[in-house]
Structure 1
Amino acid sequence: MRGLGVLAVMMSGTVLSGCMSGLDLFSDSKVDTSLRTSTVSNGNTERLTDEITVRNAVSSADLARTGGNAIPWANSASGSAGVISSIAENQDRSGRTCRDFVTTKHSYQGIANFTGRTCMGNSGEWMLLAFDRQG
């Protein structure tokens, strides 16, 4: 019987030693900080996709048909959404067609108000020139 108890303790020690082999308690090795992971999404990418989504909503709005009504937008890539409450079309100094707008942005960081400006470039593509958080 006593032999079985000693054998059980030895087997437990052998099995559990594998659990402790990764602790490396007495090593002088340092942590390698040169490695980086991309597990956390880049906030700039989300911001840019939101700006593109708003630019597209503002530039594609048919102002004659909307009649000043609010225009909702949503970005499935970031989870953000909002409502464009006003769009005013005008010409800038160089004669480009521009649209100034006011929108909300509902995101995981909360709700914020933004003003912005988008203008049509020479190639016919709309460019977002301003997208500024208010308050």
Structure 2
Amino acid sequence: MISSMRMKWLPLGLIVLALASCSSVEPLDTSLITQSTAQNRRADTSVIAETVGQSTVGVEPLAWGNPSTGSSGVISEITVAPGSDGECRGFVTTQRSLQGESRFKGVACHSANAGWKVRPAN
């Protein structure tokens, strides 16, 4: 028969064992991060393109955000891309995401069937 003293400590011992089994460190599976990063980048690029397309040339700093990826940034410059007859706009933006912050230049061009799309600046 178990003494009453042991009965008092038994629940505490079970809790300690349970916590010890939960404290092991498992390696983080990052295989999906690479796939989702490329998808997030495409989704962010679409938001940037639409923001540039709906804005005016020479705009003051303009914030953009993509709630589906959590990324955001500031478009600091919008110009008419040379030789584009107004159908393409050059821009400079920042992009803050889980991967960090970056700054890049791009060109957003409009087509009747595809809307605004981004291509890298020359």
TM category (shorter chain) comes to 0.5 to 0.7
Superposed counterparts of 1:51-130, under 5 Å: 51-63=45-57, 68-90=59-81, 92=83, 95=85, 97-123=87-113, 125-130=115-120
Map of 2:28 onto structure 1: none
User: Which one has the bigger helix percentage?
Assistant: 2
Q: What is the distance in 2 between the residues matched to 1:90 and 1:97?
A: 8
Work out which structure has the larger RCO, using CA pairs closer than 8 Å and 6 or more positions apart in sequence.
2
* Count of residue pairs brought into register by the alignment: 93
Instruction: Tell me the C-alpha RMSD between the 2 structures.
Output: 2.9
- The unaligned stretches of length 5 or more in structure 2 are 2-30
State the one-letter code of the partner of 1:99.
R
TM-score between both structures, scaled by the size of structure 1 = 0.58
Give structure 1 regions of 4+ aligned residues with deviation exceeding 6 angstroms: none
- The unaligned stretches of length 5 or more in structure 1 are 2-38
TM-score between both structures, scaled by the size of structure 2 = 0.63
Q: Percent identity?
A: 30
Give the secondary structure class of the aligned counterpart of 2:32. Answer: coil
Q: Which has the larger radius of gyration?
A: 1
